[in-house]
Each structure stands twice: as C-alpha cells, then as structure tokens.
Structure 1
Amino acid sequence: MESIRKQASKLREQVAKQQQAVLKRLGNLGNEAVMIDEEELMCHQKLQDLYISTRATKHFQRSVVRGVEAFISTSSKQMEIVRKLAENCCKYGAENQSASTHLARGSEYFGTSYNSIEDEREAFLKVLGEQVAEPLRAQIAGAPLEDARHLTHRYDKLRQEVEAQVADVLRRRLKSTSVSVESSVKLQNAEARLTELKSSTVALGKEATAAMLSVEDQQQQMTFHKLRTMNAKNRDTQETAATYLPKGNAIHN
C-alpha cells in the first residue's frame, strides 16, 4: 500500500509539473507557438519581407525626389546667372557690329551658344520635374501602397486574435478533466471560432501578399524606369550642349 501511495504521489507531482509547464507556456504564447501551420508561417514571413522591401523602396523614392528637387532648384539659379551672362554678351555683340571686331562677333557667338545650352538644360529640368519627380511623388502617396499596408495591418491584427483564441482553446482543453456539458459546449464553440479565425487569416494573408507583391513590382519598375529616364535625358542634354560649344571658338577668329 505504501508503495502504491508513493507512486500515486509521484504521479500527481508529475501531472502538476506538466500543468504548470502548460500554463507557463500559455502565458508566453509567441507567433511560432500559435501558428503551427507551415504555409501560414511562410505567408507571415513573406508579408514581413514585403513590408520591409516596400518601405525601403518608398524611402529611396523620397530621397530621389528630394535630390531631383534640390538639383532643379540649384540648376535653375545657375541657369539664371548663365542666361544673364549670355544676354549681356549678345547685347554687346549686337551693339558693336559696326566695329566688326573679333570681340563683338565672339561675344555674340558666345551668348547665342550658351543661350542654346541653357535651353537644353531647361528642357532637362522640365523632364526631371514632370517625368521623374512627380510620378514618384504620386506613387509614394498613392492608394495602392496604402491599401496594401492596410491589408497587412488587418492581417496582423487578425493573427493576434488567432493567438488569443488558441490560448483560450488550450485553457479550456486543460480543464477537460472535469468535463461538464456547459464547458464542453464552450470548448466546441471556442474551437469553431478558432477554425473560423484561422480560415479568415489564411484568406486575408493571401490577399495582403498579392497586394504587396503588386505594389513591390510597381515600385521597382517605376523607380528603375525613372532613373533610366533621368540618365538618358542627361546624356542627350550633354551631347546636344556639346554641339553648341564649338561656336564659341569664333571668339578666337
């Protein structure tokens, strides 16, 4: 009998320790403990990666827009200075044509050439503003990104509800040693609610992932295209401007 009592006592201690371990785990439920489904875990990780990726691209787009705006502002001031210089050169050349001097002819060529160069720069700045900065600014504040982020936030919130519901189900199962009709019904309702929440989480996760993937692709495509546009227009501007420079050599003739 003594041996049986010792075994029973030992068994009760083991059960108590197991219950304490379960309760402790219930009090510290994390994402990995709650979301057992491997596919859902992958969806959650994918959404986190997409959120980080789209946020980084958004910040990069902002830096591009700010850089372009600063470049336009600085270049516009330089353009005013050069145009004033070119205007003075053209004025001197026009007013002193009767003298037929090299300086008069050279000044007019110089002024005309640099006016043409500044026309090219003005067109370049217009492209930067209208075809680079404005579209990027619109995408930064656009609805697709905000809508995709809203779906992601909803998904995270629903996922937290699943965690809480899992904890509730596990607590009710823990009490199943003294089953009553009422507790059994409550457990069934809790399990049904958990199934419903998990199903909604999976569906919303897929919707949010699709939206974020679409936004990521749009961001990548547009930003890359705008950088190419900026580079191509800059190259064309430099090449065209170079064709005007030889005219300035007339100042030596």
Structure 2
Amino acid sequence: MVVDEVEMRVHHQLDKLYKSTREKRDFQKEIVKAAEAFTAIGYKHIEAGTKLSEDCCKYGVENPNDEVLAKAASIYGDARKHAEKEVEDLNKLFFSQVLEPLRAMVAGSPLEDARHLAQRYSKMRQEAEIQAAEVSRRQARVREAPIPEN
C-alpha cells in the first residue's frame, strides 16, 4: 500500500502543477493582451501625431505672408515629424523585443508540456484503475468457478 500513497502524492503534485501552469498561462495571456493594447495605442498616437505634423508643415508652406506663425508651424511640424519617427521606432522595438517573445512564451512548450504530462498521467491512472477492476472481476470469477478434474 506504500506504492499507492506515493502514487497519490505524485498525482496531487501533478494536479497542483497542472493548475499552477494553467493560472500562469492565463496570466501571461493577460500580459500579452495589455502589451498588444499598448502597441495599438502607440500606433494610433503616431498616426495622430504624424497627421498633426503634416498639417503644420502644410500651413507653413501655404501661408508664407504670415511669417512668424507660418515659420513656427513649419518648424513645429518638422520637429513633430522627427519625434513621431522616434516613437514609431520605439514602438517597433517594443513589438519585436517584448511582445513577440511574450507571445512565444504563452504558446511555449514548457507550460504546455507540463499540462499535457498531467493530463496523460491522469488518463493513464484512470486506465490502470479500470484494468485493475477488470482483473479483480476475473479473479473473482475464477475463484467462484468449479475446477474441473481430469
């Protein structure tokens, strides 16, 4: 009966592992969703900033007789365009260096392997219990059946 106690302990440990890996995977998925939202907002911000910089440059070109304001708008538009380019580069870097590895981690094998191991163990245990019950039934039938003498 010691084997059964050890087996039950291992089964409980695998069950805990299964639950904790599922919780960690769900947490990682939430982090990925947040990172995706962050990059989406970043791209919307870049889009709005780029439009503003284009409009400022356009105002500067179309209104040369309003010297001070046109020149200021043009300078601001150019500066804004360069700043948006830097933000876009940062957003691309965040996407490639943070978001993609996070996605790979969520779909990664260590967590899934642990979950599949726990599922396989549980299935094997159920099959072993079914086979043990079948063996017990057959042994009982053999004991009850009369032994023919030659």
- For 1:173-184, list aligned pairs within 5 A: none
- For 1:65-80, list aligned pairs within 5 A: 65-80=32-47
Distance in 1 separating the partners of 2:62 and 2:88: 27
Distance in 2 separating the partners of 1:68 and 1:106: 36
2:61–2:74: 8 Å Cα contact kept in structure 1?
A: yes
Task: Give 1:152 shift.
Answer: 2.3
Matched residue, 1:190: none
Q: Structure 2: 5+ residue runs without aligned partners?
A: none
| Change beyond 3 A, Cα 1:47–1:166 | same
Matched residue, 2:73: 107
- What amino acid does structure 2 have at the position aligned with 1:112? D
| Change beyond 3 A, Cα 1:117–1:35 | farther
- Percent of pairs with identical residues: 43
Q: Which of the residues 4, 8, 15 maps onto 1:48?
A: 15
- What amino acid does structure 2 have at the position aligned with 1:134? E
Tell me, what secondary structure is at the counterpart of 2:72?
Answer: helix
| Change beyond 3 A, Cα 1:35–1:164 | farther
Task: Give 1:172 shift.
Answer: 6.1
Radius of gyration: which is bigger? 1
1:35–1:41: 8 Å Cα contact kept in structure 2?
A: no
Distance in 2 separating the partners of 1:146 and 1:164: 27
Q: What is the TM-score when the length of structure 1 is the normalising length?
A: 0.47
Q: Structure 1: 5+ residue runs without aligned partners?
A: 1-33, 183-253
Matched residue, 2:106: 140
- What amino acid does structure 2 have at the position aligned with 1:85? L
| Change beyond 3 A, Cα 1:130–1:180 | farther
- For 1:1-253, list aligned pairs within 5 A: 37-93=4-60, 100-101=67-68, 103-168=69-134, 170-171=136-137
Distance in 2 separating the partners of 1:45 and 1:106: 70
Count of residues in Structure 1 that have an aligned counterpart in Structure 2:
148
Q: What is the TM-score when the length of structure 2 is the normalising length?
A: 0.71
Tell me, what secondary structure is at the counterpart of 1:41?
Answer: helix
Distance in 2 separating the partners of 1:110 and 1:104: 10
